[in-house]
Every structure is written in structure tokens, then in C-alpha cells.
């Protein structure tokens, strides 16, 4: 993490002024005709209302938007991160702590104009950034909303807060648009990712996505204690080291940057469908919180790879 030395103007403002942001939004919209917006690659026509894995059609679905104070300190500052929680997800994490939103569909359909309005209201409330939570399945709609909002004066950094299961081709449409990427690096093994989150080839897609994100924005840059550009990586520690933290930390150190801002999270708790797994000797471990020793192991993995974890 480094300190910014001069005023940072979000890249999407330049793209908006040149007309390229509108062009990106059009390119992304075309993806929805045979949807490959994320690695699920469902090939459904969302423009005609067909639903794939994410259960989201043409229009975005939003659960809530507000100033959020539970994010990482460089995002929160004094006035909060302007967080928009999108409904549905391109993963099916069996232990999801936001399952009402991600799995049960709690939320309401909005237009891209409405979504742009949410962004502008959060900026008007003084939020330091716009934090897009679970955006991987609605990048085309987000790009359209950003284009609308930029024309109406949006000027704060944009945060892409994802589970890490992102398409590199889709991310390239966000190059110069997103200021801060905040992906999860959930797992080090594909078999665990398939069992716990119902996603294929998670590590391949996650690793490629993080490399692309870092190519676009680099390590985290802050000014006056607030993030203006760069990447924040989250890693949730799971019981019995099911996340394989040693693999994840080695990847970050060797393929991303040892200067990465890595938040190793200790807040795992049993939720959603975990209780149904009592007969599985492997997945039964998820029925309890992590231990101090398990968390310390993940911290040690980071440090042994030359990474200094962010302070809780």
C-alpha cells in the first residue's frame, strides 16, 4: 500500500468525456444475448428474459444501498463506503452469510437509470466511494449505469467487490472504469470450491481474474487515509484449512505482489445450508467457527510468503 501524492481523478470520467464509456456499455450489453458475462457461461439470452445460473435477466436486482462502515478502513473513512448490494450471485456458497440476498433473491428489480441514481445519492451523502457488491453477473448493467451517472456528475472512486469468480474478458471492459478491485481469493483447490460453492475451475478463473485486476490498477494507493486506486484482496479463513490458505498466499506473493493489501478474515460462522452436512466427515468441519490456531496459521502463511496482512 502506498500513499498517493497528487489528486486522483477516476478513470471513468475520462472515458465518459471521450465517449468510450458508452461504447463499452454497448459492447457489454451484447454479451447478454448469449450470456458469458461470468465463468458460468450459461449462454442464455438475458435480453429476452432467459435466466441462467445467476437468476438475473436484463435488469439488475438490488437488495439495498447505504453508507457502509463495516468495510476495510481505507474504504470507510469518516463518511462510509457507498455500498450497493446486488441480489443473486454467480456462486452458490453453502455457508454464505448473506444468503437472503445471494441465494434467496431478496431485492427488487431496478432500471439502469435507477441504479445510476443510487450512485449519485450515495455521493451526495458524502460517501467516499461507490462499492458494488456481487457485481460479476451484471457488469453490462453496471457499465450502463456508470455511464449515466458520470454524465450527471459522479466523481468518486468505484469499487468492484466480487467473489473472485470473474471472467477476464468481462473485466477487460472495466479497464479504466473501476478504480479499486476488491476480490475474494476464497480457495486454493478446485475440488473444495466445487463442493462448497458449486463453481467449476475456481482457482483458474480466480487467479486469472486477480492478475487482470492487478494489471489494471496495481497495488492499493491511498491519499489522506482513503483508497483511491488499486486492489484489496480478501481471504476468509475456513475450519480445517478448507480454504488452503498456504496455496492462496503463495499465489498472491508470486503472481500478484508481496505488497498486496490482503485482509485475512476471521469472521466465518456456520450459516445457510451448513447444518445439513452433519453426515459428511469433511464438510462437518464447517459447523463450527474457526479456532485461533486456524486463523494464526493463515496469518503465518502470508508472512512466510513475504506478505504483511492488513490489520483487522
Question: DSSP for 144-196?
Answer: HHHHHHHHTT--S-EEEEE-S---HHHHHTTTTT-SEEEEB---S-HHHHHHH
Q: Report the C-alpha dihedral over residues 110, 112, 115, 121, rounded to 10 degrees.
A: -130
3-state secondary structure of 93: coil
In Å, how far from its chain's centre is CA 57?
Answer: 20
Average pLDDT over residues 37-59: 97
E strand or H helix at 209, and its extent? helix 202-217
In a domain, 278, yes or no: no
Handedness of CA 77, 106, 267, 258 (dihedral sign): negative
Specify which residues 230 forms β-bridges with: 180
Q: What is the mean pLDDT of the chain?
A: 95
**If we measure between CA atoms, which residue out of 20, 118, 23 comes closest to residue 62?**
118
In Å, how far from its chain's centre is CA 91?
Answer: 12
Q: Which residues have C-beta within 8 Å of that of residue 108, sequence separation ≥ 6?
A: 61, 62
The CATH number assigned to the domain holding 26 equals: 3.20.20
**If we measure between CA atoms, which residue out of 262, 267, 208, 205 comes closest to residue 233?**
262
Q: Is 279 exposed, middle or buried (CB count within 10 Å of its CB: 0-12, 13-18, 19+)?
A: exposed
Residue 6 in this model has a pLDDT that exceeds 90: no
Rounded Cα distance between 232 and 83, Å, is: 16
In a domain, 256, yes or no: no
In a domain, 279, yes or no: no
In a domain, 275, yes or no: no
Residue 283 in this model has a pLDDT that exceeds 80: no
CB 161 within 8 A of CB 174: no
In a domain, 258, yes or no: no
Structural domain including 86 reads: 8-229
User: How many structural domains compose the chain?
Assistant: 1
pLDDT digits (tens, 9 = 90+) for 149-170: 999 999 999 999 999 999 999 9
In Å, how far from its chain's centre is CA 62?
Answer: 15
In a domain, 3, yes or no: no
In a domain, 309, yes or no: no
In a domain, 15, yes or no: yes
pLDDT level of residue 5 (50, 70, 90 thresholds): very low
pLDDT digits (tens, 9 = 90+) for 76-85: 999 999 999 9
The whole-model pTM stands at: 0.96
pLDDT for res 258 = 98
Amino acid at each position: 500500500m502506498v500513499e498517493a501524492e497528487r489528486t486522483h481523478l477516476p478513470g471513468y470520467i475520462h472515458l465518459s468525456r471521450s465517449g468510450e464509456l458508452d461504447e463499452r456499455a454497448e459492447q457489454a450489453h451484447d454479451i447478454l444475448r448469449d450470456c458469458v458475462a461470468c465463468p458460468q457461461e450459461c449462454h442464455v439470452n438475458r435480453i429476452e428474459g432467459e435466466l441462467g445460473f445467476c437468476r438475473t435477466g436484463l435488469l439488475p436486482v438490488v437488495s439495498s444501498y447505504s453508507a457502509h462502515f463495516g468495510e476495510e478502513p481505507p474504504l470507510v473513512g469518516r463518511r462510509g463506503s457507498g455500498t450497493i448490494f446486488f441480489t443473486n450471485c454467480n456462486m452458490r456458497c453453502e455457508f454464505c452469510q448473506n444468503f437472503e440476498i445471494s441465494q434467496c433473491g431478496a431485492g427488487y428489480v431496478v432500471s439502469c437509470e435507477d441504479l445510476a441514481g443510487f450512485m449519485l445519492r450515495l455521493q451526495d451523502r458524502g460517501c467516499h466511494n461507490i462499492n458494488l457488491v456481487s457485481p460479476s453477473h451484471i457488469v453490462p448493467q453496471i457499465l450502463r449505469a456508470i455511464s449515466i451517472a458520470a454524465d450527471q456528475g459522479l466523481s468518486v472512486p468505484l469499487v468492484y467487490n466480487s467473489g473472485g469468480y470473474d471472467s477476464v474478458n468481462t473485466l477487460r471492459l472495466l479497464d479504466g472504469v473501476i478504480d479499486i478491485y476488491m476480490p475474494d481469493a476464497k480457495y486454493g483447490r478446485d475440488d473444495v470450491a466445487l463442493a462448497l460453492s458449486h463453481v467449476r475451475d475456481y482457482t483458474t478463473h480466480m487467479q486469472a481474474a486477480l492478475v487482470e485486476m492487478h494489471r489494471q490498477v496495481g497495488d492499493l494507493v491511498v491519499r489522506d487515509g482513503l483508497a483511491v486506486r488499486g486492489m484489496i484482496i480478501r481471504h476468509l479463513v475456513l475450519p480445517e484449512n478448507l480454504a488452503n490458505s498456504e496455496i492462496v498466499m503463495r499465489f498472491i506473493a508470486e503472481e500478484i505482489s508481496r505488497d498486496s493489501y490482503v485482509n485475512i478474515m476471521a469472521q466465518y460462522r456456520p450459516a445457510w445450508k451448513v447444518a445439513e452436512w452433519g453426515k459428511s466427515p469433511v464438510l462437518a468441519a464447517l459447523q463450527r467457527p474457526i479456532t485461533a490456531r486456524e486463523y494464526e496459521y493463515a496469518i503465518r502463511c502470508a508472512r512466510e510468503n513475504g506478505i504483511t496482512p492488513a490489520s483487522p
